[in-house]
Every structure is written in C-alpha cells, then in structure tokens.
Amino acid sequence: MVKKIIIVGGGVGGTLLANQLVTKLYPEILRGDVQLTLLSNSPDHYYKPAFMYVAFHLFFNDELKRAERSLLRPEIDFRVEEVIRFNFNDQILETASGKRFGYDYLVIATGCIPAPERIEGLKEAGDHFYQYAPARQLAERLSTLKKGRIFITVSFPHTPNVPHQCGIAPVETTLMPDDFLRRRGVRNQVEIVYTYPTTAQLMRNCLFLQRPTAEVLPNLFEQKNIHFQRGFTLSKVDPDARIAYSEEGDEQPFDILMATPPIRAVDAVLYSGASHAQNNEGWQPTNHETLEVYGLDNVYVIGDTVDLPISKAGGACHNQGPVIANNITGKIRLGTNVSVYDGRVQAIAQMGLHAGMPLWYDYQTDVLPTPPTKLGGLLRNGFNRGIYWAVARAML
C-alpha cells in the first residue's frame, strides 16, 4: 500500500523538508511506494526575513518571492490548498475548497502569524516588520521622520519558555533605524529607546532572550546613543495620546512605536485540539528530540509552530528539517525514529545596514556573540540575495 506523506505549509521549513524527503526516499517514490504532497495556501514562497529590510527600502516585493513550484523537486505533488481542519483521529485533512486528503505521515509547517490585536491599541498605533504591508508602512514613517521618538518594545507569548518570532530581530531593527537615520542626517533629532520585558522566557531583567548577548548589548547601544530599559512589558497602547503602557506601571510616549507583536498559530492549527498552550496561542506540544507532536501518531512539526525554547526562525528549520526527514524515512524503512534534534539554530544578525554578526546556539549552549563586521554583513547580504533560495531547495 502506498505511504502518503503530507506537509502543510509552503514556508522555508515545509519547502526544504519536502525536498530533503525526496532525496531520502527517492527509491520508494520512484517505485510508487511513497507519495509526497505539499499543501500551501499560496502559489508563492516569500523570504520572510527580508520583510525587515523592506522597512528601510532595501527590498521590494518581487525580490522577496519565488513561485513555490519552482523551488520543489518534480517528484513532489504541490497543491495550492488551504487546510482548514485537521482530523487527527481519521488522519484526514480538509481544505477550504472542500477537498479531503488522507495521510500516513503528516508534517505541520504552518508557521505563526502576528496578532497585534491581542494588546489593546497596538494594532491601531503600532508598526512591525513581520509582514510586507506593515513593513512598507513602517518604511514610509521612517523615511519622513525628521524629529521625535522611536520607541521599540518586545512582547513574548504567554506560553512559558516560548520565544517571540526571530529572537534577534528586535535588536537588528533597533540598530538599523540608527544607521538609516544617520544616513538621512536626522539622527541627532530622533531619540531611539529599546525596551525588553521583565520576564523573557525563563530569564528576568535581560535585553535579549539569552544572557551572553544581553551583556554585550548595553555597551553597543551606548556607543550609538540608543537608550535601553529592562522591565517594560507592554500591556496597552493609547493611539490618540501616543503612549505605551507597561504591566510594571511605566508609560512611554512615542512618535513611532516599533513593537514585536504577540504571535499565534494559524487558525486551523489553533483549533485542531492538539495544543494546550496558554492564551489560545496554538503551539504544538513538541518532542524536543524527535519533533513529533505529543499524543499523535506519525505527526511531526517544524518551525514556528513548535513550543520549543529555541528561536522561531529559518535558522531553526534548517536544522530541524534533516531530523524529520531522517525520522520519517526511519519509520517507513525500520519502523522507528532514527535522529535527534539538539536545538541548534544559526544565523547572521544584521547589526546596522551593512554589518553582520554570526551567531549560533542549541539546547545546551547559549548564543555566543561575535564582533559585528562588514564581512559578516556581506555574508548576510549573500544569504539574502541567493543562498536562501538554495537552502529552500535543500541544496545546502
């Protein structure tokens, strides 16, 4: 009987994993013993980390996307179908078009979405860079600002030990406006304030989600006259008065509010019944080592939908993909998982418009900061402009 593998989600996690599975299971696919299908709600694939650059006019829409079909091996059955219901008991997926897909092995790769509406006033008054349209709006604000106050703040999920999307992004988008405004010649008339919540995952009074980097940031910010404050947990925003309020009782005025918004799983995952995450956030209960969803047979999860204590970023997917590919292959050929995920994440952080800082960490080792350099910036630019697409194709 044909074994059916379905991946739901055409982001970097789902795309690279689909390609890796073809490589692993090529003999079975060639014989017709395994069928691999990828379902996505869009025909296009977006390089989402580049939305951050849109806010500084460094990327435009057509540079950010490729046709999803062009990134996939020809052996993959790609369908533009939005999954609206997971029936785990019967191993069936239902889509918005009314179609039903049965599976033997399932991978949830649906990512997460910004939910600024979960904080009073934030949707009306805040800006963020996690989607294209909001990033374009932020670009217009930054390009016309001549004086005033940019207030930057970070919100974490309510689920304990789960980080916000792309851990280093708030730091990147604090240093990039500094550089951008200096090039515009108005930096002396603009105050930049970076804040971080009292509790960040399991730590308190930090400026980043891992302590070694939090110890480096103050000196870096001081050099650039960026003010910083620990212990600001955003609770609500007054759009008319343009004031952000914290759970700790503080209030901060702003001309531009750059807020890392609350995030949640997509609707189909949110209401699938598998998650026990707080505040109806929808994170899937994930086995730290095998990346299976606890309580479900042959269901795996990759990327931003996990409840793991590691960054929700492409640098995590790059390491999770081979583990899931090996484990599904092991299940089909040997009846058991064969690989373990160690929590590894790697990235090159954008430290200003042209400098970059390589970083990596895993479950056991905190991120170790390296000096930001122009060479690091060239590496990041190379990744943005070409290497990413090779990663999505599972060529690297």
Q: For residue 30, give every residue at least 6 positions away whose Cβ sits within 8 Å of its Cβ, in sequence order, or none.
A: none
pLDDT at res. 128: 94
The domain locations on the chain are 3-111+266-344, 115-262
- Judge whether residue 190 has pLDDT over 90: yes
CA atoms within 13 A on the CB side of 292: 17
pTM: 0.95
What is d(CA 45, CA 314) in angstroms, rounded to the nearest whole number? Answer: 13
Relative to beta strand 251-253, strand 65-67 is unpaired
The 10 Å Cβ neighbour count of residue 202 is 9
- For residue 120, the cross-strand partners are 236
Percent of the chain clearing pLDDT 90 (strictly above): 84
pLDDT at res. 61: 87
> What's the pLDDT tens digit per position in 202-249?
677 788 878 788 888 888 899 999 999 999 999 999 999 999 999 999
pLDDT at res. 96: 97
CATH code, residues 3-111+266-344:
3.50.50.60
In contact, 333 and 320? CB cutoff 8 Å: no
| Cα Rg of the chain (Å, integer) | 21
> What's the pLDDT tens digit per position in 318-366?
999 999 999 999 999 999 999 999 999 999 999 999 999 998 899 998 8
Specify the DSSP class assigned to residue 2. P
Q: Can you tell me the mean pLDDT for 275-281?
A: 90
Residue among 151, 154, 142 nearest 193 (CA):
151
CA-based end-to-end distance of the chain? 33
- Judge whether residue 375 has pLDDT over 80: yes
For 115-262, CATH number out of 3.40.50.720, 3.50.50.60, 1.10.3720.10, 3.40.50.300 equals 3.50.50.60
- Judge whether residue 13 has pLDDT over 70: yes
What is d(CA 396, CA 384) in angstroms, rounded to the nearest whole number? Answer: 14
Longest dimension (CA), the chain: 69
- 3-111+266-344 and 115-262 in the same fold: yes
Specify the DSSP class assigned to residue 330. H
Specify the DSSP class assigned to residue 188. G
Q: Return the minimum-mean-pLDDT range out of 139-143, 235-239, 385-389.
A: 385-389
